[in-house]
Structures are given as C-alpha cells and as structure tokens.
Structure 1
Amino acid sequence: MLNQKVDHFIKQHQLFHKSATLIVGVSGGPDSMALLHYLQAKKKVWDWTIIAVAINHCLRGEDASADIEFVRNYCLKHNITFEAGIVDVPKLKREEHLGTQDAARRLRYSFFEEKMKQYDADYLVLGHHGDDQIETMFMRMTRSANPSALKGIPLKRPFATGYIVRPFLAINKEMIKMYCLENGITPRLDPSNEEDVYTRNYFRKHLLPLLKEQNPSLHHSIQRLSESIGADQDYLEEQAKKALKKVLVFPMTQSAVNLSINLVKTYPFALQRRMFHLILNYLYHTIPSGLSYEHEQYFLNLIHSNRANVTIDLPNGLKLHKAYETILFTFNQEDAPFFSTSLPVPGQITLPSGDIVLATVTDDNISTINGKNTLILPVSDSEKYASFVVRYRKPGDRMHVKGLGGSKKVKDIFIDKKIPLQKRDQWPLVIDQEGHVLWIIGLTKGMIPNQKQVNQYIQLEYRGAELY
C-alpha cells in the first residue's frame, strides 16, 4: 500500500530525477526509518546516491546518543553512507531567546545545508507525512489570519544546492507503522512525542483522532487543499511582487521602503495585503513572533483613511509612517543632532546629508535663474546679508510670506506642503542676521523687502538631491 501510493505521488509531482544524490534526514523514529528503507529499496531503479544524516540536538542526553548509534548501525548493516552531527540547541535558546522547537529547527536545517553543499546533493528528503500536514494546517488556522500560512508543509521547495522534498505527504501514520511491521523495522521512539507541552503534540493527541473519525482519509483531502492553496498563493504573490515594484516611491533598501498610497489603492485588497507581507519579509531577517493580523489591519486602515500623519510601531523597532500620500516602513533611528552653522558671503557649507549651500556675490541681474534651489537677494547698505545661518527648524520659527500681510509658522508651511513628519526636523532653513527665516531651502522663500536700485546681488544656491 505505502509503496504504491508513494510511487504514484513521486511520479505525479515529479519529485526526483534519476542519478540524483539524496541527503535523508533520519532520527531513528518510525517516519524517517520507513523513509530511509523505502528510498534504499528504490535506489537501483533510480540510480540514487543516498546519504543518511542523523542529528543530536543535545536535548535528550543518552537517549539522543543512542538514537544516533541506532541509525549508524542500521546504515552500516545496509551499506548506506552515514553522517552524524551535534548541534547545541540549549545554547542557541539562551543566546537568541528562542523556543526549543525554533532553535532546534534552525540548527537542524543549518546542518542539513552544510551536508547538501558537502555532497553537492540534489535533494534533502524528509519524512513528514499526511498526518503532520493535518496538524500543521489546523495549528496555523488557530494562530494566523494570513492566507499564505495555510499552504501547509511544502511538498517541494528550493534549498541549498537543490530541493527539500517530502514524498510521505501522500500517506498517513498508520501506513508508516504497517510498513515498519511488514519490513521488520523496529524504530526508536521519542518519549517527548507523548507530552502535551508542545502544541503539535496536543493537536496530535486530542484533535487528530476526532477529525479522523469523521474522515479516515483526511490526509488526502488536506494535502490536496494544501497544494491548491499553495498554487493560488504562488500566483497571487507573483502578482504582488509586480505590483510592489510599481508603487515604490524610491527603490527599496534594507532599512526603508516607501510606497505611494494612491498607487497602492489601485490594486485589489488581496494584493495590498501581500505587498505588506512582501515588505516585511524583505526588511526583517526573521519574521518576529509578535507580528499579528492586527498589524496587517493597521496597514490597510492607514492606506484607506484620511489621516495625514500617523506612526505605528511594529515589532523589533520597525515603524510604519503615513505622511499624506506616502507610506514609509523604516527601522528606529537615533534622532539626528540639531544642525546650525554660519554661511559667510562669499562661502559655502556642507549639510549633514553631504549636500552643499553656496553663497556668491555677483554684479549681474540674475533674477532669471531664481529657481526653487536658488535664492537671489539684493545687497543693501546694511550688514543684514553679510553672513547667514543655515540650521534645522526650532519651535516657533515663522516666515514672512509674500501675499499674507504677515508671518506664518514654518510648521504650518510644512503641513500645507504635505512634508512628511519625519523629514521636517532635518530640513535646512536659511536665517539672516536679524533672525528672520529667509528660505526653507527648495520649498518656500520668504518675502524680501523692497530695496532701492542696487548693482550687486547675493546668490544662495542649494546643490544636492531633491529634498522631497
């Protein structure tokens, strides 16, 4: 029964090719021992090279060492190449503040990757079966509202020098037990699998029997569901990747991603959600456990709300800023120190960004080049323009703007111009010797009092990247 179902499953999904090198993860338990026996039986037909790999996680003392020796002796008896590894799960738990299962999985797959590269292997073959798939799907349903989490355990995925494949997803635990009995395999049993302390064990002992009472072949239905969801999710994710490229305001970096809200809103909710998760996968080294459905909902609410400036904290120091028509994902950064420096005439200064503000004196009437990055001032008899201060804004800063008949707060000018909140405190201003704000560089120019006919002008010029 097992042979026929797994043979058909392998052929249906084209899991292997001939003359391949297989790394097989073997713990000594029923699933992995049945898998190793099955693959070894098919070795000649497929012309495979098989390497069995067993790992001691330093969690079960002498029992774990005995498991390794059990697999070693089995491989010696059946002429199978064997590799053993020891990984220190308790140490990683302490250092990285991880749970036992997360730490074990990280170290286990790291060791598998090492062996895949050592042997230039084509496949890492693991013994996950149909009942594991049921447990995984239902566990994720209780923890996550993200549809992509319902893909379950992948049948085949890229890994190291080749692929991870799981041919036993076609069968259930009972078939594996029967196969072991029929082939004289007496596997090792891990007592921790009977404890309720781990969530998976709880589902295995209490939920799975009830589900199988309703449908003894549930593993077939769940596997088909997993494959269908996986195919749909892969397609939608590919569409989301294409959409994300089109809504970026600037190219993505490892510390920041900036989106156009108006462009994001042109795509369906299904792609908006996936864009959010693509960004998180890009920015986070590992998705933090504190991330939840609520954070996704915050993102969608901001996209479709009328609020102008909002900041939301995401786990591990990532912040989500909405500023008018843009959404910015960025990690916590230390506040930039206040900047203020004197600009002599003639002379130049360098801003913290590396951009330059230049002051020159000319006899020519150069008003024709008075663009947004240039300010032209007539030279008066006073010392008013002998030098300037270039600095960041201070509370209470005001500017006399032409046509207002008075002054306006610099803060309100930023709001009117829809300047993102996080940019305002590092925006350079030009101040004259009397303390008046003459120029919010590249944005707004102050009102210059009428002067008598003059023959000289001061030209202030900003040379650098667009400030916004």
Structure 2
Amino acid sequence: MSEIIAKVDETVSKYNLLSKGDSVTVGVSGGADSMFLLNYLISRKDEYELKIIVANVEHGIRGQESVDDTEFVRDYCAENDIEFHSISINAVEEAKNAGIGVEEYSRQRRYEFFESFSTDKIATAHNLSDNVETFLFRLARGTSLKGLASIPCVRGNIIRPLINVSSDEIRQYCGENSIPYRIDSTHLNDEYTRNKIRHNIVPKFEEINPCFESCVSRLIGMIDCENNYMLSMSKDYFDEYFDGERLNIKSLKNMHEAIAKRVIVILFEKYFLPYDDFHINEVYKLLHKIGKYQIKGDCFAISDNDTLRIAKLNKTADLSKMVVNKKTVSKEEFLTNSELLHKQFAFYCDCDKINGNVIVRYRQQGDEITLSKRNCTKSLKKLFNEYKIPIENRDKTFVICDDCGVIGVYNYCVDRRVEVDNDTKNLLLIEIS
C-alpha cells in the first residue's frame, strides 16, 4: 500500500468518515484532487458497501473547456459503473445578481446541488494544501481562532478524506497509477487570491522551511483542539444558565474573556443573528453594565438584572391613543369614600402643589426626580435601574409632569415636591389605560 493511501485510510478511520452501507455524494470537477478522491472511494466501495453518486457542477466560466471537463467525468463514471449527475450554471452572471462574489456563489451552488441527493455523506476533495491556503488567506484578511482552524475534516455529513495529503502527493500518485485528470486553466491565473497564495506566497515559506505545509497542518490541529475545548466549556455554561429566554451572566462576567465571548457567539447563533468581532465586543461590554446594544433593526441585546437576552424593542406607542383619567378629590373624601380608599391608584399627589398644567409623556433626556425617602435628586435613568424596570419597557413607562418638571413616574413614585403630607387638602388621582 502506498504512503498516500495509508494516510487517507488513517484519516477515514480516525474520524470515522465512512460507515458500512453509506451512500456518498462525491463532488468531482475532473481535477487531480477530485479524481483521486473518486478513485479512492471506488477502491473502498466493496469494503464499506458504499453507494457512490458523482455530482458535477459546470460553472460556465471557461467555455468549452469547462463543458469538456464535465464530459470527461461523465465518461469516467460510465466506465466505472458510477451514478453521475451534473448541472450547468452561469456563475458570473448569477453571482452578480445575488450580490456576492463568484467564488462564494459557486461554493453555495455546489453544496446545494450536493445536498439535493440526500445521501448519508458528502465527500469533497479538500486537501492539506487547500487547508494551508485557507489558513494564510484568513490570516491575511483577519479572523478568529475558529477561522484559523480552517477547513474541518468533518462537518455534519460533509467529509474530507484528503485533508492530510498535499496536492503534490495527489498529482504524483495520479501520475504513477494512471488516474486521468483535467487541468483547470483558471488555477494558473493569479488574479484569483487563492492562486496568488498558491503560486507566490507558499513557495516563499517553503524556501525557509521545505516542510511548511506539514508544520501549518500541525498548527491548525492544535488550534482546532484548543478551540474545541473552549467551545465545549462555553456550550456547557450556556446550556446550564440559559433558560430559553435569558442568559444568567452573574458568573459569566467573572469568567475569562475568551470563554465569555464564545458564550455570546452561541447566543447570537441561537437566534440566527449575523455577527462579527465588533458585535461581540459591544455585547461583551454589556456583561459589566445595564444597557442595550442594537444588533440590527429593532433587534437588541439587553443586559439588566444580571441577565443578557435578545429582544425586539418596538417603537413607543402613540400617546394620543392613551386614555388618561384625572380626578381631583379632597383629602377627606379620599379617606371617607370606601371605593376610592380601597382602589389601588397607580399615581396620586397633592393637587395644590402642582404648577400649571399636568401632562403625561415618556421620559426625555435630562429628566430628574427627587424622592423624599432618599433625600436626593437623581436621573430617571438611574431610578429605572434601581427599580429594575426592564429596558424594553423604559421608553414606554409614563412620566407625569407639570410646568416645573417631573412630578412622578406612573406606577412607581412621586416627586417630593408634590407628595401627599399632613397638610394636604386635595389630591389628584390619575389612571391611564
């Protein structure tokens, strides 16, 4: 057995990529990598009792050359009695209409096609060299530790048996064992970033260290191992402290930043929200204060009462639609009228201490209130924090004012200036519905 086949067998065994009776969709372009993968799976077909389906996507980029590649794969499958399927797309035009890059659009369409067969596994020919190129590309563009882990050997039902063998090893094996393959002319064009890395960057590193690809592969393995450990810790915390709506952050705020941010990522993913470093950093700040952060549109991350949650904050209701019932009564009537006495009014004050008109509105910047029991003046923002009013309700909490300022917060408190005392003669009672 050749060394490269032994490597692939070891990867398949270590990660349990194949099981007996598996149906496998193989993405085959006709290049050396995918033809080697197909040849390998055919060689293991009887051992694993595999059902192999070959899926080919003709991207419409290279004209007749691309069409010829598809026919080449079709003929090879016919010769080896392998089920073959193909689709043709206009990648450039369709990507433009979709508003994304050609490479990303093509990748999405390929996987959509592969998944359409509903097989147990989808096998792609990503190899060691691809992984190194992805590592360097993401390193140059900026990424997370998870991003540097690059291309996983297995993700869901997608398997990559060649992830530990290089492109050079694959081409050498194909040559020595008469495995035919096609050469994609776009792979020679350095206008594509990946080709630029392959042709210009990697060779420079190999001048310093001929085993550069193997060294990067080991580094990727270490990153992946440590990232998986931290991810596992983060998931354990999330599962224990997320109640389906709120995440208890009392302990999280004291945990290492790396774990805390991963827990936040899990929360974003729970709600299928897009995120980047900026989003995560802003929400991380909320662990140590009461506040909110707008993620997108009306969707906010909200921190209060040692909890973090994702919620939609709707626009404040139209005050003109509120019904405000105001009633002025004497103190004697209030104390002797059993109906009034036993009714729980959300707001009442000394009517004679009011200056000018009484209005009901929502809070505004600079609003303050003085409470006699506290003997201090504080902003409504601080008061709402103390009363632990949910953030999504704060802009919908009624504030009652006269011509001199705030006289109370409906359902919560009254300003010392207008509170009822022993000298009060008349009361203003307010109900809002």
CA deviation after TM superposition for structure 1 residue 53, in Å: 0.5
AA aligned to 2:409 is: I
Is 1:150–2:148 an aligned residue pair?
A: yes
Aligned residue for 2:184?
190
- Give CA-to-partner distance per residue, 1:125-180, whole Å, 9 cap, x none: 1111111111122222223352111222111121xxxx111111121112211222
SS of aligned partner of 1:15: coil
TM-score by length of 1: 0.73
Is 1:339–2:312 an aligned residue pair?
A: no
- Give CA-to-partner distance per residue, 1:283-328, whole Å, 9 cap, x none: 45555xxx34x55445555646xx76675x6688876666796666
Aligned residue for 1:356?
none
Structure 1 unaligned spans of 5+? 253-257, 347-360, 463-468
Greater CA deviation, 141-150 or 70-79? 141-150
The 1:259/1:112 distance shift into structure 2, 3 A limit, reads same
The 1:378/1:425 distance shift into structure 2, 3 A limit, reads closer
Greater CA deviation, 81-90 or 419-428? 419-428
Question: Of 136, 155, 159, which residue of structure 2 is paired with 1:165?
Answer: 159
Aligned residue for 1:239?
233
Alignment map for 1:151-230 (pairs within 5 Å):
151-158=149-156, 163-230=157-224
Q: Distance in 2 between matches of 1:199 and 1:442?
A: 62
Q: Distance in 2 between matches of 1:407 and 1:42?
A: 79
SS of aligned partner of 1:82: strand
The 1:125/1:316 distance shift into structure 2, 3 A limit, reads farther
Q: Distance in 2 between matches of 1:270 and 1:406?
A: 41
Aligned residue for 2:267?
279
TM-score by length of 2: 0.79
CA deviation after TM superposition for structure 1 residue 4, in Å: 2.4
AA aligned to 1:46 is: Y
Alignment map for 1:390-405 (pairs within 5 Å):
391-394=361-364, 401-403=371-373
Aligned residue for 2:131?
133
The answer to whether the 8 Å contact 1:375/1:445 transfers is: no
- Give CA-to-partner distance per residue, 1:363-408, whole Å, 9 cap, x none: 16857x96xxx5375999x9x9xxx975423567665643578987
Q: Distance in 1 between matches of 2:394 and 2:383?
A: 10
- Give CA-to-partner distance per residue, 1:240-264, whole Å, 9 cap, x none: 123235555x744xxxxx6565432
Aligned residue for 1:59?
61
SS of aligned partner of 1:344: strand
AA aligned to 2:151 is: I
Is 1:45–2:20 an aligned residue pair?
A: no
CA deviation after TM superposition for structure 1 residue 420, in Å: 7.3
Aligned residue for 1:375?
346
CA deviation after TM superposition for structure 1 residue 425, in Å: 2.4
The 1:266/1:337 distance shift into structure 2, 3 A limit, reads same
The answer to whether the 8 Å contact 2:56/2:86 transfers is: yes
The 1:314/1:213 distance shift into structure 2, 3 A limit, reads farther
Aligned residue for 1:352?
none
AA aligned to 1:45 is: E
The answer to whether the 8 Å contact 1:398/1:437 transfers is: yes
The answer to whether the 8 Å contact 1:92/1:98 transfers is: no
The answer to whether the 8 Å contact 2:323/2:432 transfers is: no
CA deviation after TM superposition for structure 1 residue 82, in Å: 0.2
Q: Distance in 1 between matches of 2:189 and 2:225?
A: 35
Aligned residue for 1:269?
257
SS of aligned partner of 1:265: helix
Question: Of 70, 73, 84, which residue of structure 2 is paired with 1:71?
Answer: 73
The answer to whether the 8 Å contact 2:346/2:431 transfers is: yes
Aligned residue for 1:123?
121
- Give CA-to-partner distance per residue, 1:79-137, whole Å, 9 cap, x none: 1110112344335423432111111111111111112x2xxx11111111111111122
AA aligned to 2:69 is: D
The answer to whether the 8 Å contact 1:10/1:167 transfers is: yes
CA deviation after TM superposition for structure 1 residue 423, in Å: 4.6
SS of aligned partner of 1:170: coil
In the alignment of these two chains, the number of paired residues is 416
Is 1:6–2:8 an aligned residue pair?
A: yes
The 1:165/1:404 distance shift into structure 2, 3 A limit, reads closer
SS of aligned partner of 1:79: coil
SS of aligned partner of 2:116: helix
The 1:336/1:60 distance shift into structure 2, 3 A limit, reads farther
Q: Distance in 2 between matches of 1:63 and 1:407?
A: 79
The 1:397/1:219 distance shift into structure 2, 3 A limit, reads closer
CA deviation after TM superposition for structure 1 residue 239, in Å: 1.6
Question: Of 418, 426, 443, which residue of structure 1 is paired with 2:412?
Answer: 443
The answer to whether the 8 Å contact 1:363/1:457 transfers is: no
Aligned residue for 1:427?
397
